[in-house]
Amino acid sequence: MISLKKNYLRQKVAELLIIRSSGHLCDTQRQYPKWELKNSELKRLLEEGVGGVILLGGSIHELQQRSKILSSWSAKPLLLCADIEEGLGQRFQGGTWFVPPLAVGQIYRKDPEKAILLAEKYGSSTGFQARICGLNWILAPVCDINSNPNNPVINVRAWGENHSTVSELTCAFNRGLASQGVLSCAKHFPGHGDTSVDSHLELPILEHDLNRLEEIEFSPFKTLVAAGADSVMSAHILLRKIDSRHPATLSRKVLTTLLREKIGFDGLLVTDALVMEAISKCYGVAESAVLAFEAGADLLMMPENPDEAINAICSALLSGRIPMKRLEEALVRRRKALAKIEAFNSTSLDQKSKVDSLDIERDADRALADELIRRSILVRKQLDLDAKNHAGINLLRVDSVLPCPFLTPLSPACCMPEAIGFRTILCHQLGISPWATDLNEPLALTRFGDGPFLLQLFCRGNPFRGDLNNQEPWLVVIQQLQKQNRLSGLVVYGSPYLWNELIQVLDPSIPSAYSPGQMPEAQNQVLSAFLATDKMKNVLQTQTLRDFTD
């Protein structure tokens, strides 16, 4: 009888966990085998009652199958989520991939109404494709205000740099998601925008007091909560003046006193991934799960060992450390969220007919992605194709190369400059260093050979990479190449902060352009504009792309 009760309790606690699965279907295909559970483990945990799965990797068609399989392993409806902030294509091959939200924030400056409309479409397109692939919960929008340009982990993921832009655009995005019957998640409470440390690596510490939070950080969360955010995700940051002991994710003061009581949020409260080092460095699996749950979180994202987390919470409930009421309220919130999805699905007619269609990306999605690129690229000065000999170096700088999802030898960033005589050289963290020891002439020119440089810098804040990007002296490189008359042009893809920094020193006579998006279509659009389209077309038509197999 007691073991029956215990078993029942274990099942109920298990509902609150979100475990990690690859979107690929075979165990051998997992990209992060340390974090992505094997099929046998996923099956066991879902059979034992685990209530949610976070997915990453694979194609949209694999994701469709994966969602069905995960659901078939569970007796009850699941929360199936993904960290999709920039369209389904950001995480799942074949989905539409949008420019980062900050690009929409830039459009907002010039044309707020247009930007709001685009943000809503951004949400509905993401929601549509997610639902067609079996997901019912999108871990977006990012509600952090990127007030710190050096933020290594939020950066272009934010919708803006001030609270009104972020509030307006995240609400619009949220309306779009809601129109597709997919749950949203406002993150990362109480605001991750003013950090300069990557919480994937260590715990950021902030000095903000309640007044400051009320004035700035809370604003988008309040607006979105009022507008009906389905869930909120906690941040792994320590607000010394609010709770000097525990980071927000584990802090009762932050989660319950501020978010629940002060802001009045009554939806699902989920932790950020508990495996992140900001948490896992200081707390064990069991303790972090119990603390987060005790503090007010309803759902626990990616505890390193799911069984250990479930057992620890069960013990804390049985011992009376945590009142049963906490479990009940969390389960009720989860049920309500699932009921909302259910209600949508039962009235929506288009779902079934679309599920097996080949092209999940509709014309409207493609048009939106293209429009967002078109409105966000910036050509300061075109390259004159006739002006000089372009037998130079197409220097591509990327954050990572194994893999580099937006680049193949056939990508526009390679092909188009090659078509007019530039030879591509790819610089990345794993390659031979492009750097010399002379701080005033940092680019080791002898490693590149003769000719002028077309610099194409793909650079954005990326998790796990700390502030590596900022350490590279591209500003000085611009000066070095200008002095030597060897700079043909500059194109920045991604960070507006890097772009703004570099054009401070860039001679206005040097051709330059910027694109917030890094995907092939962004390369195509920005280079077509930069390289004077018509002439380029002729060049590309005469070029033979001869490879046809691996």
Residues marked active site are found at 200, 272
Burial group, residue 335, by CB count within 10 angstroms (0-12, 13-18, 19+): middle
C-beta of 117 vs 201, nearer to its own copies: 201
Of 479, 506, 473, 476, the closest CA to residue 491 belongs to: 506
C-beta of 263 vs 407, nearer to its own copies: 407
Distance of closest approach, residue 217 Cβ to its own copies, in angstroms: 24
Q: Which of 444, 475, 476, 529 binds its own copies (CB under 8 A)?
A: 444
Stretch of 114-122, 124-132, 418-426, 481-489 contacting its own copies, by CB under 8 A? 418-426
C-beta of 323 vs 449, nearer to its own copies: 449
Distance of closest approach, residue 303 Cβ to its own copies, in angstroms: 13
Residue ranges with strand state E in 480-528? 487-494, 512-515
Burial group, residue 280, by CB count within 10 angstroms (0-12, 13-18, 19+): middle
Site residues for its own copies, 40-79, by CB under 8 A, read 56, 58-62, 65, 69
The residue with tokens 């200008």 is 482
The C-alpha atoms of residue 231 and residue 183 are separated, in whole angstroms, by 8
The C-alpha atoms of residue 295 and residue 251 are separated, in whole angstroms, by 5
C-beta of 35 vs 256, nearer to its own copies: 35
With CB under 8 A as the rule, give the number of residues binding its own copies: 66
C-beta of 207 vs 547, nearer to its own copies: 547
Site string for its own copies, 463-482 (x = CB under 8 A): xx------------------
Are 162 and 145 a contacting pair, CB within 8 Å?
yes
The C-alpha atoms of residue 472 and residue 137 are separated, in whole angstroms, by 38
The C-alpha atoms of residue 157 and residue 216 are separated, in whole angstroms, by 18
Of 200, 203, 192, 176, the closest CA to residue 232 belongs to: 192
Q: Which of 359, 384, 467, 534 binds its own copies (CB under 8 A)?
A: 359
Distance of closest approach, residue 460 Cβ to its own copies, in angstroms: 12
Site string for its own copies, 373-402 (x = CB under 8 A): ---------------------------xxx
Are 87 and 501 a contacting pair, CB within 8 Å?
no
Name the DSSP letter for residue 299: B
Q: Does 545 bind its own copies (CB under 8 A)?
A: yes
Site residues for its own copies, 23-42, by CB under 8 A, read 24-29, 31-32, 34-35, 39
C-beta of 15 vs 521, nearer to its own copies: 521
Q: Does 427 bind its own copies (CB under 8 A)?
A: yes
The C-alpha atoms of residue 476 and residue 154 are separated, in whole angstroms, by 26
The residue with tokens 């040097």 is 510
Q: Does 418 bind its own copies (CB under 8 A)?
A: no
In the chain, the N- to C-terminal Cα span, in Å, equals 62
Of 283, 300, 320, the closest CA to residue 14 belongs to: 300
Distance of closest approach, residue 419 Cβ to its own copies, in angstroms: 14
The C-alpha atoms of residue 479 and residue 354 are separated, in whole angstroms, by 54
**Which residues are at the interface with its own copies (CB under 8 A)?**
20, 24-29, 31-32, 34-35, 39, 56, 58-62, 65, 69, 83, 91, 93-94, 200-201, 273, 275, 277, 358-361, 366, 400-405, 407-410, 424-428, 430-434, 444, 447-449, 463-464, 545-550
